[in-house]
Amino acid sequence: MAIKRDKQAWLRALEDLQPYPVMLLPSTGGWEAVFPNLARLNAWGQSKEMARVNATEALTFQLGQMIVAGDTPPNPSNPDNLIPGDDEPPGSELVMIEPDKAVLRSRLGLTKKEKGGPMAATLGRLGRK
């Protein structure tokens, strides 16, 4: 089902987003993050933690692109239903990654802006009599 291209529809789609399963696989020089539900999406990091951070950023960007294009993101798989492959290297780990909804709200223009810009809140009445 397609998403309408308006801010209310984007907000509803954003609120419906759930965590996605990600396989963290040790690879040469680091870790690879593979998304079973998003075949062309993966991330990499020199450490397992950096792979998770990069996977969150990649997932957030990909889902944002899908929402803006009017595409409905796929439903995440239940991690209990995912069967590990025989070819997965030792140390592989299945984790759930949450898309960064605050970043998506900001990039989609769904956040309220302070009157006067970001400096108005910090400067307050400075310089006024």
Does residue 21 register a pLDDT over 70? yes
pTM of the model: 0.79
Specify the residue for token string 């801010």.
7
Measured torsion, CA atoms of residues 61, 16, 13, 44, in degrees rounded to the nearest 10: 10
What's phi and psi for 97, nearest 5 deg?
-115, 130
- Could you tell me the pLDDT band of residue 10, with boundaries at 50, 70 and 90? confident
For the chain, domains (ranges, CATH) are 7-123 (3.30.160.250)
> What is the pLDDT, as a whole number, of residue 42?
94
Instruction: For residue 122, give the 3-state DSSP assignment.
Output: helix
d(CA 68, CA 122): 32
pLDDT tens across 38-72, in order?
A: 989 999 999 999 999 999 999 999 999 998 888 88
> What is the pLDDT, as a whole number, of residue 114?
54
pLDDT tens across 76-124, in order?
A: 999 888 877 777 788 899 999 999 999 998 888 887 765 555 544 444 5
| Alpha helices, DSSP H, located in the chain | 7-16, 48-69, 101-107, 118-123
Instruction: Find the helix or strand (DSSP H, E) in which 91 lies.
Output: none
By 3-state DSSP, what share of the chain in percent is helix, strand and coil, each rounded to 5?
A: 35, 15, 45
